[in-house]
Amino acid sequence: MIPGIRKAVCALVVVVWTAILVQAQQPVPQAPQTGTIAGTVLDPNGATVPDATVVLQGAGPNDHQEAVTGDDGFFQFAGINPGTPYHVTVTAPGLTTWTSQEIVLTPGQSFLVTGIKLAVIPVQQSVNAVTQEQIAAAQVKVQEQQRVFGIIPNFYVSYEHNAAPLTAKLKFQLALKSLTDPVTLAGFALNAGIYQAANYPSYQQGMAGFGQRLGATFAGGFDKIMIGDAIFASLMHQDPRYFYQGTGTTKSRLMHALGNAFVTRGDNGKREINWSDIGGDIAAGALQNAYYPSQDRGARLVVQGALIGAGGRMALGVFEEFVLPKFTSHSPHHN
């Protein structure tokens, strides 16, 4: 080989070899070492919590891992990037949610999360307080649907043995409901026709006399119900309703039905003399002296009205106890 060429080749070989040796001596860059995060989930008593859901959330939405604890309550996340902030969130059925503070690992670090203790979620109970007046209003609403044969009002009977006492407002409401019912008004007209046929009170005959008797009948019914069952019942704190007994011997039920004309239930639940109905009958008879013809007035009218009222309540009580429940809508014995 020509000496000049040989020297050039040797020099090139030396340069390439030197470059290879320099490159080999340079360090190869390595990926940063990842870390691990682990922990144990406990309940308030210090026992481990199995099947708890543990979420590891990094800075980005995709930097997310999830695990479920075993029977020993333990969890572990591997491959955690160092230098990135993470939060651990733990949830379990019936227990409160636990969230860690920010965790930032160094390369290759294994971090143990401590203090994971889930408390029991407090049970919240809500109680809706219902007043006696609201209970009584609901019971009166049912009573206002009670009709014999589905037609004749039977509002003044309670099939609730422990019915809530009526307020004065409900007593007036029940009285007005009864007085303004179309069937009640038709009954006043029928009664006036009977009086017309019997020529009592001593008004004239014809349509004018019928109108007078109709007015007197309505006034008498209005006075008896409004004064006895609303005004006096409110002032004396007595219940104007008939309370169906329905149980016991026939004798005890009969005595209960007949005695209702003279003994009633007070708003305090105790048995009392029925001053409200007795007083209502006397007051209605006294008012009739103001609009009845002169020949029909007098003390006799007052006494007669009181006796008829008491007798009517006794008879009605027997019917309410033994007969009408079978034919009254919304009663316990109505089919």
Mean pLDDT over 54-69 rounds to 91
Same domain, 294 and 176: yes
- Residue 158: inside a domain: yes
pLDDT at 9: 54
Q: Are residues 59 and 192 in the same domain?
A: no
Per-residue pLDDT tens digits for 207-233: 988 998 888 888 888 989 999 999 999
Q: What is the pLDDT of residues 87-100, one digit of tens each?
A: 999 999 989 999 99
Instruction: Answer yes or no: do 220 and 300 share one domain.
Output: yes
**Is the bond into 332 cis (omega within 30 degrees of 0)?**
no
Please say which residue of 113, 144, 172 terminates a domain. 113
**What global pTM score does this model have?**
0.62
Residues 149 and 235 in one domain: yes
Whether residue 66 is found in the same domain as residue 173: no
pLDDT in tens, 275-304: 999 999 998 888 888 888 888 888 888 888
Contact 240, 277 (CB under 8 A): yes
Q: Return the CATH number at 52.
A: 2.60.40.1120
DSSP 15-39: HHHHHHHHHHHSPPP-PPPPEEEEE
Give burial (CB, 10 Å; 0-12/13-18/19+) of 45: exposed
3-state secondary structure (DSSP) of residue 83: coil
Least confident of 22-36, 123-137, 262-276: 22-36
Contacts of 152 (CB under 8 A, 6+ apart): 183
Range of the domain at 229: 132-326
275 and 187 share one domain: yes
Q: pLDDT tens digits, residue range 170-190? A: 999 999 999 999 999 999 999
Whether residue 193 sits in one domain with residue 256: yes
